[in-house]
Chains A and B, each alone.
Chain A
Amino acid sequence: MSVDSATVRRVAKLARIAVSDEDVTAMEGELNAILGFVEQLSEVDVSGVEPMTSVIPMAMKKRQDSVTDGEKADDVVANAPASEDHFFMVPKVVE
C-alpha cells in the first residue's frame, strides 16, 4: 500500500498538523519509504495468533474508588498559554 498527496493531506487533517504543498511532497516520499519497509509484515503467518495487549502478564491494577487528590486548580492551569478564573481560554468555538 502506498499513499498519494490527497491521502497525506487527509492524514495531516486527522492529525491536526497544518501542511504546506512542499511538506506534502516531502512527506509523501518519506511515508511511502516507511510503509514500504513495514510491508514485509504481511508475509508473516499470524493465523491463530492473538494480538499482544499486555507486555507483562498481570491483572490491571485498580485504585480505590475515592478522592485521593485535588484542590489543585492553580497548578492545573499554571502552564496554560491563556487561562482565566481557572478556565483554559480558547478561540470561540460556538457562534
Chain B
Amino acid sequence: MSDLTALTIAEARAKLAGKEISATELTEAYLTAIDAANPQINAYVKVTPDKARSMAKASDERIAKGDAGSLEGIPLGIKDLFATEGVHTQAASHILDGFEPRYESTVTANLFADGAVMLGKLNMDEFAMGSSNETSYYGPVKNPWRKRGSNMDLVPGGSSGGSAASVAAQLCAGATATDTGGSIRQPAALTGTVGIKPTYGRCSRWGIVAFASSLDQAGPIARDVRDAAILLKSMASVDPKDTTSVDREVPDYEAAIGRSVKGLKIGVPKEYRRDDMPGEIETLWQKGIAWLKEAGAEIVDVSLPHTKYALPAYYIVAPAEASSNLARYDGVRYGLRVPGKDIADMYEKTRAAGFGREVKRRIMIGTYVLSAGYYDAYYLQAQKVRTLIKRDFETVYADGIDALLTPATPSAAFGIGDQDMASDPVKMYLNDIFTVTVNMAGLPGIAVPAGLDAGGLPLGLQLIGRPFDEETLFSLGSVIEKAAGRFSPEKWW
C-alpha cells in the first residue's frame, strides 16, 4: 500500500478520477502508515480514523455519481490550531484540555466542501509559539530527516512541525498550516517540503485559534509546488465572518505553474546576507539566482534597509497581540479549570497550570509592553517600525521588482533539545530572521526545497511576492523545483 501514500495530490487526483483507485483505499493506506509511524514521528496529536473512513466513503459515492469536488478523496492532516467540529482542537496546549468546538473553521470547511478527507489533527508548537515544535504539550515532533550516518533526532521546525513532518514522511497527502512569523515556511524548509504563506487577508482566519491577529495567516504545506497551489485554491476564500478577509476572487493558482518567468525582475536584498550564515546557505542562494536567470528572469540587487528591525519589532507586536488574544483562557468557558479560593485565584492557577513556559513568557512580554508607561516606548515604536518595514517592500515593488529571492532559514534542522537554543530564547527566535519580515508587511511568501547540505539535510529558498500575487510565486517556485529536483527522507521509522 505504500505506493499509494507516495502519490502527490495531483497524481492521486488523476487516479481517483480515472477510478484506478478508490478514496477508501487511499485513506486506508494513510491510516496504516500513520499507525506504523506516528509512535516515532509524533506528527499527529489525534488520529480520526472513523471520520476519515466515513468521509472517504462519501467521496467514493460522489465520484461514482460524477459530482466529485476539486479535492475529492484527498486525505489531509489538519493543524491542531484549526477548529474542527466535534474533534480535538487544542492548539497543542494543556489549557484547551478536552475542547471540541461546535463549529468548523472556514478553511477546513472549504477543504471538506471540495471533498478532502481529514485524517486527524497535527502536532504544533503550543499556540503556534515556537520554531522547533518543542513547546507542544504533546511533546516534540521528530523530523523524518536525519543527518547522513547519524541517528540523532532533529526538529522539524515550527510552529507547523506536525504539518511539515507528516507531509515529508507521507503520513498525509498535504496539510494545513499557519504562519505568524515563519511557521509555514521555516518547517517546510527544514523538511524538504513546499509551504506558502499567502497575503494577509487571503485565507479566512475565522475558526483558527488566534495568536497574533495582524500577522496570522493560514496556508498549505505540500509535497511539491503544484500540490501547494491546488490546496491554496481551496483554502482561500472571501469570508464575511473575517473582517480582514479581502474581497478578491481566488485565482486558479495551478494555472500559474509552468508559466514563463522570462523578463520578471527578481530582487536580491543585500540585508539578507548575514555574516553568521553558513557558506552552504549562500551557495544555495547563488544557485537559485542562477536557475531563475537561466529561466529568463532578470536579477536585480535591492535594499530593504529596515530588515534587521523586523525581528525585534515582531517580538513586541506578536506578544502584545497574544497577551490580549490569550486572555480568554480563564477556566470559565472552555478547557482546563484549576480550582482556587476565589475567582482571581482560579484564573491564576488555571493559567499557571495550562500554559507552557514559552506561552507564559510571551504573554508576560506582551502584558509588559502594553502596560501603562511602556506602551509608547515599545508598542507604538514597534508599530511605526512596522510601517517602515512595509515601506521598504513597497519601494522596491514600485521600482518594478516582481518578487524577491532570499534564503528561507539561516540553517538546516537542528537537534531536539539543543542546549544553545534552550538556554537563550532569542537564539530560537533568530530562526525566523528571513521569514518574519514577510508577516510584518502582510506579503505572500513561499519556501521551496532547493538542495541538501553537506550532512544531507534539506535547505530551502524563499520567494516573496507582491500583495495577492501568489501566482508569480508558484511560477517562480516551480522553476526552482524543476532545477533542484524533489527531496525525500530515507525511511528509518
A-side residues, CB < 8 A to B, are 1, 3, 7-8, 11-12, 14-19, 27, 30-31, 33-35, 37-42, 44, 46, 49-53, 55-56, 58, 60-61, 63, 72, 75, 78-82, 88, 90-93
Contacts and interface: CB of A to CB of B under 8 A. Distances in A.
A52 B335 CA distance: 34
Contacts of A30: 361, 425
Contact of B426 (A34, A63, A79): A34
Interface of B: 98-103, 199-201, 214-215, 240, 243-246, 306, 308-309, 312-313, 315-316, 323, 327, 330-337, 339-349, 351-352, 355, 360-361, 363-365, 367-368, 371, 374, 377-378, 380-388, 390, 424-426, 429, 441-442, 467
A1 B341 CA distance: 36
Given A18-B351, A80-B332, A55 B102 contact: no
Contacts of B103: 75
B190 to A, nearest CB: 23
Given A52-B387, A81-B335, 14 more contacts: A34-B361, A34-B365, A37-B429, A41-B312, A44-B388, A50-B387, A56-B244, A56-B246, A58-B201, A79-B101, A80-B334, A81-B331, A90-B332, A91-B340
A72 B101 CA distance: 13
B383 A53 contact: yes
Given A16-B330, A91-B340, A34 B315 contact: yes
Given A41-B382, A79-B98, A1 B333 contact: no
B324 to A, nearest CB: 11
B385 A82 contact: no
A44 to B, nearest CB: 5
B368 A3 contact: yes
B448 to A, nearest CB: 24
A3 to B, nearest CB: 7
Contacts of A33: 424-426
Contact of A82 (B306, B308, B337, B426): B337
